[in-house]
Amino acid sequence: MKKILSEIRSLFKLNRGSSLSTIILCAVAATIFWFFNALNKNYSTNLKYPVKFVYDTENYLSIGNLPESILINVSGVGWNLLRKSIGVKVTPISIVIENPLEVKKIPGITLPGTITDQITDIELNYILTDTLFIHLDKRVTKSFSLKVDSLSINLNENYIINSPISLSEDSVTLTGPNSFISEIPNPITLSISEKNLDDNFSEEVQISVPNYSIIKRNPPTVTISFTLAELIEESIQVPINRSGLGLTLKQSIELQDSTTTIRYKKLKNGPVFSINDFDLILLPSSYQKSDSTALISLIKYPENLYYLQIDSSRISLNLKMKK
């Protein structure tokens, strides 16, 4: 105490002629004496006391945050109450959960014995917290296949994926609450968020699952890789093949147009195509007298063509009898 008074006196730098400093020093000293004396008396107060739940954490886990404290009314010496209120040397009350899947709430009225056995230096009067709510679930581990949502990959115009889409891992192992894991579809679909891709792709992608903060993923990411190729647009005039129409010797046919345009896209550095690579024929069974038209069909064309289109799927013709 002499040391405390000495420090207070040095703070104020007292002079014998300073009455104000003397009054302040006396007031501070009186306050200190009162405070220390008051802490030696018994009081009752409300305390937010820490709790921890003891259960089989290897086979069960909590969904959401467990309660961290319980509000109780206690009595004790002021010093002890002060230490408890500021959390000095306070050991949390252990609440044992023997049947994790069955226990959803713990009424406060069932805990006096548990609390009384574990608190020291103070006495429990009553419990103010009405109920502690908990949600524990079975911990499970399950393997899921992975696939890429290729249809949602956003490519720049005139680019295509021209290789298999590869994954660094073809599956992921999830560990978490059974109620969550059982709701996840298998396989898990991966999406690529980048837009307007125009170059070969090889990047890490998150394996996204619902409630990922609770569910452990192994691995959490995979690398998706594929190559892109640029397309160019071309067109070609192809003659219509009239052979195979099954005309009699007394029949002849006149086409309004003897050729039609085929439009397509091909690889930028791909081969050059000619009319010999295509074969267009008339379909006699599709002939309509009402408008004198028939369907044409492309029965031969090169591989690796994209977005193939024929300018007209029907063509006008005149079917005549020979004299």
- Using only the alpha carbons of the chain, give its radius of gyration: 43
Neighbours of 111 (CB within 10 A): 19
Residues 149 and 126 in one domain: no
Which CATH number covers residue 208?
2.170.120.40
Which CATH number covers residue 127?
2.170.120
Residues 120 and 191 in one domain: no
Residues 193 and 177 in one domain: yes
Place of tokens 């713990």: 106
**Taking the CA of residue 287 as centre, how many other CA atoms within 13 Å lie in the half-sphere pointing to its CB?**
14
Q: Give the residue from 255, 297, 306 showing the smallest Cα distance to 279.
A: 297
Residues 236 and 305 in one domain: yes
Beta strand residue intervals within 165-313, DSSP E: 166-167, 171-177, 188-190, 201-206, 216-218, 221-226, 228-241, 251-255, 259-267, 279-288, 293-300, 306-310
- Domain boundary, last residue among 192, 208, 226: 226
pLDDT tens string, the chain, 323 residues long: the values are 444 445 545 544 545 545 666 666 665 655 644 444 445 578 788 999 999 999 999 999 999 899 999 999 999 887 777 787 777 778 999 999 999 999 999 999 999 999 999 988 888 999 999 999 999 999 999 999 999 999 999 999 999 999 999 999 999 999 999 999 999 999 999 999 999 999 999 999 999 998 878 999 999 999 999 999 999 999 999 988 876 555 443 455 666 677 889 999 999 988 999 999 999 887 777 777 777 777 888 889 998 899 889 887 777 666 554 45
Where in the sequence is the domain holding 80, given as residue range(s)?
A: 42-134
Residues 176 and 102 in one domain: no
**Dist. CA 321–CA 254, nearest whole Å:** 11
Residues 269 and 208 in one domain: no
- Residues 28-40, buried b or exposed e (16+ Cβ, 10 A)? beeeeeeeeeeee
Residues with Cβ < 8 Å from 35, sequence gap 6 or more? none
Residues 126 and 53 in one domain: yes
**Dist. CA 120–CA 303, nearest whole Å:** 85
- Domain boundary, last residue among 173, 193, 226: 226
Residues β-bridged to residue 217: 174
Residues 105 and 151 in one domain: no
Residues 270 and 210 in one domain: no
**Dist. CA 74–CA 152, nearest whole Å:** 62
Number of domains in the chain: 4
